[in-house]
Amino acid sequence: MHLSSLLPLTVLSILLWSLEGALGDPQILLLNKGCSQYNATDLSTFNQNLNATLNDLRVQVTNQSKYFATAQEARGQDPVYAMFQCRNYLSTTDCAACFSAAAAQIRNCSAGANGARVIYDGCFLRYESAGFFDQTTLAGNSMICGNQTAVVASDFNTSAQQVLKDLQIATPKISGFFAATKTQVSGAAIYAIAQCAETVSESGCLDCLTVGYNNIEVCLPNTEGRAFDAGCFMRYSETAFFADNQTIDITPFLQQGSSSKKGAIIGGVVGGVALIVIILALIALLRWYKKPKKVRRGDILGATDLKGPVSYRYKDLKAATKNFSDENKLGEGGFGDVYKGTLKNGKIVAVKKLFFGASGKIDDQFESEVKLISNVHHRNLVRLLGCCSKGQERILVYEYMANKSLDRFLFGEVKDSLNWKQRYDIILGTAKGLAYLHEDFHVCIIHRDIKTSNILLDDEMQPRIADFGLARLLPEDQSHLSTRFAGTLGYTAPEYAIHGQLSEKADAYSFGVVLLEIVSGQKNSELRTDANDGEFLLKRAWKLYEEDRHLELVDKKLDGKEYDVEEVKKVIEIALLCIQASAGARPTMSEVVASLKGKNSLGQIRPSMPLLVLITLIWWSSDNIHAYGAVENIQTNLLSKGCSAYNASNLRSFFANINETFAGLRAQISSDKNKHFAIEDKARGEVITYAMFQCRNYLSKTECLSCFDTATSQILNCSAANGARIIYDSCFLRYESERFYDETNEPGGGVSCGNMSSTVTGFKVAAQPVLMELQQATPKIKGFYAATKTPVVGGSAIYAVSQCVETAMKTSCLNCLQVAHDNLQRCLPNTDGTAYDAGCFMRYSTIPLFADNQTIDIAPFLKQGGSTKKWGIIGGVVVGAALLLLLLFAWIWFRKSKGVQRGDILGATELKGPVNYKYNDLKAATKKFSAENKLGEGGFGAVYKGTLKNGKVVAVKKLVLGKSSKMMDDFEGEVKLISNVHHRNLVRLLGCCSKGQERILVYEYMANSSLDRFLFGNRKGFLSWKQRYNIILGTAKGLAYLHEEFHVSIIHRDIKTANILLNDDLQPKIADFGLARLLPEDCSHLSTKFAGTLGYTAPEYAMHGQLSEKADTYSFGIVVLEIISGQKSTDVKGDEESSEYLLQRSWKLYERGCHLELLEEGIDPDEYDGEEVKRIIEIGLLCTQATAAARPTMSEVVVLLKSRNSVEHLRPTMPVFVGTNVMTREGNSTSSSNANASISIVSAR
């Protein structure tokens, strides 16, 4: 906006303005504001550091009259580095006023944002969590142009260009990096300034102003323009914004070589400062390294440390993967490439580098995968170690799987190496992982892309489900989602592929297909030709099963002695049930797990013939897609290939469109020997396909068509992706579902450098001006194409070519080539380099790319601007890309601040990790922890009901520090553990708070309080049999997850009815993890001091301190008997003569066959089945066996609970009576309860 339009000015005020400049005006027109999307880890320390740095800056600006100031505060793990600079023409008062405005504005960023910047006309303010004082250019650089054109546009344009170019050259040589000039032109004046941060180097200042000049030049011939970047600012205007006497004569600084001494001095100072910063950083790093040794969190929970995802630095991942080299590449797919990386500490990781699809939705996929995989934790799901987001790069870091993916063992280089047991374990593990996602996580997650390449194998050949980029959440009140198709054809359920109806049963279908592939060793898309008529896997599997020849489906490489025939038949039946045509006919994944672990099939259900999905027939029919055969007379070096993460909605229409658009493109190229560019689009109903092809102008028609045919054959491997691109040295091909013809810059761009360095002295010096001239000339040449040959003294010639798509605008072509030019600088002095982007291509080589008579004289297109000799000025990030990225960050921030966030990506329900609450907020929420809000109290603290500002009701557990430091360990242990475990039957930690000696945990609120209230308290007798059964089953599932499904075994140590909370639907949630311990994989048990609650404690643990997960099983058995009987384990039943504790009573009744007498009175006999009650009592008694080995695992308990059969083959023996069961009742039977009370639970009492 033009400054004169902001304020109503009279003639007098204009006169005063021209005389007095900017006096009395802090110039706080907001140009740019940005907030980091990452928050500090410790908000309290971070805010202290931020306040300290801002106060330091304020003192420097107001008391010391500085125009430039830096400050830093590095307490704790969240240091703050801050910088402020105002324009040198402002008065000290105005400078201070601008600082105040900036400081107020920057605090509007979300609380805890670990970085932010504010840029005004008069000043800028920035803070970060890492040092940035020497930064010059960032992707966020941009420009703002006025909206009025100069009266004499040509004169103004020429003069302004020269003024800005002079400022660009002179400012880095002036002390303080500031220059201001006034230049008369055609009855008007041009006021212009340039300024760099004082902490950058002279070359850094020049680099930054070069980018600034390129950006601001776009504004001409408008009368006003501004350009800003991380390390510099540039502005010109026809309106005076400083006084005439504040100009600086820059003429002496326009002569080359005048600043060598000054540069040396500045370099020395900067070097000294850098050395100090490095020393400080090393000290901080040393302190950080030592800190964990004091805390010793491993001693709280066990030897294995629990860690959440961390944010990796881009340069560390780049180094770990050898610059993302092909040597380190593990695989590639439509969404990105995966590389093997070795971190500085020697740890090997898998680095997944995403690239942007044409639809620009990669950030959604990135956020989706990070958010989701950070929340789900299961032994059969791949673990996310961290992520990285830098500029347009999006990277995920996973645990490394040396055995890679399952498809490699079924169809790849190690085909036929899996035995039957390994295959069976992979099937079972995959089913467990899906059952967790669908039923055991607190909200249902649909993976949407289950296939063999997304199942990784660890060192022990155990499966890990990977790639959650397409995952969606299914709200509890919905049976399915209606959504656009995404996934992989051949694995897709018919109701989803055809009608877009997505439910968890779509994953069950995909699992069924994978199961058949594992059994047979045949791809689902592979046509089996050993029969008279070719058959796909699904059809073949059904046919063999129907004819009772199921063993013929088994992979011929398997030894028949390895497997049990009935087990194979059961697995094939399960697979066929999973691929039933109707989603309702498919089993749930928990039913699949139970069947796989049991000796029975899925009840009496017999599969019917599956629907041979239309999509599979469409895709794999060779008549539907025409891939032109590639001619081999031209070498096509593949530079980049990308497939959209989203698939077409109507596949038949989509494939027809693809055929016609590709045919249309080929026809255009064939029709004219000089035709090297073509676009084509087709529409069928709502399905539209846009396509573009371009080859280099030096190719012949035959060579161009050859490259086109190669590109089409390759791009069709993207399956039904609704967008794809492929780029070769000689051509590129792209199609999308949305119009893209005017796009030029996109994150899919890149650079490819040759591996030979030139031996010719001066090669780099010769190549740089060639590339700069191509960048400047090509946008001015008709057809946007240029090719040159330049001799090199003492060596061969440099062949160079640049090209833009013909549908781009001239300015867009220039912007695209600027980025390409900057990228190619990395290749020099190598003898070959190629840069490519959505709308342009640039290459140089010492190898002849074209004939000498195919060069173009570009000299006539270089006259304007006089920049042919200024090739050394490094171009910055172009305006288009900068604005795109700026808008991207703004949109992410907007979504975050408005709460829209990632719910749109995954579904309506949002996933959140634990947060740090403010003490004052929790104090207010609980009415100062009032007795009125108290829900319960224990030996280690009290639990309060709290209502947060947003109306959410929570349970606030306030721990009280004892005389020892054990409470600190308990607090850290509970936070560390429950932040990592996520299961529908485990209580969810919402956040925590630590202030002084106060330690507070915030949990989801359970209005129904704890189970003991319904068994022994004021709600006794309320629970029906079905509700009791569901509580038993849910508790067993939660424990099975802790013991066997989390990536390390967790022992709760305090399972009891008071620690089982009930939600609104009376579903159980295991609570209170303060005593939990981790059991290392190589240990059968831990020898440790007793902790827990007597009456629920296993004998080997209470008497000998031998702790294993079977101690929890014992406690669970006691809880089962309490739930059935409504009797406390420590209560005595009967008179003085025949009194019995619960365990004794249960065994006697069971042994006599009178098990129904154990049921609590008041339960309606019509509600339960007698055999089911007997089975559950048997399970309770099995869990309380005297020896740990005789007790079942909790996953076995889950299977037994879901089974309809008795457990007589595991008939229990008489349990040992320990703890309170052997105490006398002469006055001391109740004392043990208080003396050995465990940590208080979080419940609504």
Q: Please, which residues have CB within 8 angstroms of residue 901's CB and are 6 or more apart in sequence?
A: 895, 910
Of the candidates 960, 1028, 1021, which has an alpha carbon nearest to the alpha carbon of residue 1240? 960
Element spanning 318, H or E: helix 314-320
Q: What is the Cα–Cα distance from 672 to 663, expressed in whole angstroms?
A: 15
Tokens of 387: 């992520």
DSSP letters along 1129-1145, please? TT-EES-TTT-EEHHHH
3-class secondary-structure state, position 206: helix
Asked if omega into 475 is within 30° of 0 (cis), the reply is no
Q: What are phi and psi of 459, to 5 degrees?
A: -60, -25
Q: What is the Cα–Cα distance from 1119 to 1054, expressed in whole angstroms?
A: 11
Tokens of 285: 């790093």
Cα 7–Cα 9–Cα 14 angle in degrees, nearest 5: 125
Name beta bridge partners: 800.
788, 844
Q: What is the Cα–Cα distance from 236 to 225, expressed in whole angstroms?
A: 6
- For the chain, the distance separating the N- and C-terminal CA atoms, rounded to the nearest angstrom, is 62
Does the annotation flag 421 for ligand binding? no
Element spanning 986, H or E: none
Residue type (1 letter), 184: Q
3-class secondary-structure state, position 642: strand
Element spanning 310, H or E: strand 310-311
Identify the residue whose tokens are 């995909």.
510
Q: Counting Cβ atoms within 10 Å, is residue 235 exposed (0-12), middle (13-18) or buried (19+)?
A: buried
Distances from the Cα of 162 to the Cαs of 168, 181, 185, 206, 236, in angstroms? 10, 12, 12, 16, 12
Q: What is the Cα–Cα distance from 671 to 1033, expressed in whole angstroms?
A: 71
Tokens of 21: 């400049």
449 catalytic residue (yes or no): yes
Q: What is the Cα–Cα distance from 516 to 758, expressed in whole angstroms?
A: 55
3-class secondary-structure state, position 934: strand
Q: Counting Cβ atoms within 10 Å, is residue 458 exposed (0-12), middle (13-18) or buried (19+)?
A: middle
Distance of alpha carbon 586 from its chain centroid, rounded?
32
**C-beta neighbour count of 1225 within 10 angstroms:** 12
Task: Count the alpha carbons within 13 Å of 289 in the hemisphere toward its beta carbon.
Answer: 7
Beta strands per DSSP E along 696-824: 724-728, 731-736, 750-753, 785-790, 798-804
Task: Give the helix ranges, DSSP H, for 438-503.
Answer: 494-499
Residue tagged active-site, from 449, 507, 1054, 1112: 449
Does the annotation flag 958 for ligand binding? yes
Q: What is the Cα–Cα distance from 117 to 98, expressed in whole angstroms?
A: 14
Tokens of 23: 């006096």
DSSP letters along 11-37, please? HHHHHHHHHHTTTT-----EEEEEE-S
Which residue ranges are tagged as binding site for ATP?
A: 353, 958
Which residue ranges are tagged as binding site?
A: 353, 958
Q: Which residues are catalytic?
A: 449
